[in-house]
Amino acid sequence: MNSHLRSPLALVLLLVASVVLAAIGTASLPGSTAAAPNKSCMKFSGPVLMTYTNPETIIIHIIKGKVNAATVFTMSPTTTYKRNGSTATFADIKTGDNATICAVEQLPSGVLLATWVEVTGP
């Protein structure tokens, strides 16, 4: 092979390999355990104000420093739930429960996608 063609060909192959590896790395669902090492989730705590079932959504009241707001979190099929330390489901979450939610912001929409939810309540 001509030495003038080796360098550009190697560069093109390296570029293609990088694109393929990047595509494979982002192919997992948001919030899945495979995606967790790439994005750390942010923790939010507060009382549950409301839940919606379609799509599964939890609204909690957050008071932290100057922030005093209702914050909306969207669930995914991979979101895990605990209630009083035991495995739970979305249906087990009730208004008035104290919740801690770990969520990842989905850009560019800004949606907070919950990776796990822990609630305590009666």
Supply the DSSP symbol for 90: G
Angstrom CA distances, 26 to 30, 32, 45, stand at: 9, 11, 29
- C-beta contacts of 34-41 below 8 A and 24+ residues apart: 35/104, 36/115, 39/104, 40/104, 41/102, 41/103, 41/104, 41/115, 41/116
Predicted TM-score (pTM) of this structure: 0.66
Q: Give me the domains of the chain, ranges plus CATH numbers.
A: 42-120 (2.40.50.320)
Strand, helix or coil at 102? strand
Q: What is the pLDDT tens value at each position of the chain, 122 positions in all?
A: 555 444 554 444 433 333 333 333 333 334 333 333 446 899 999 999 999 999 999 999 998 887 789 999 999 999 999 999 999 999 999 999 999 999 999 999 999 999 999 999 98
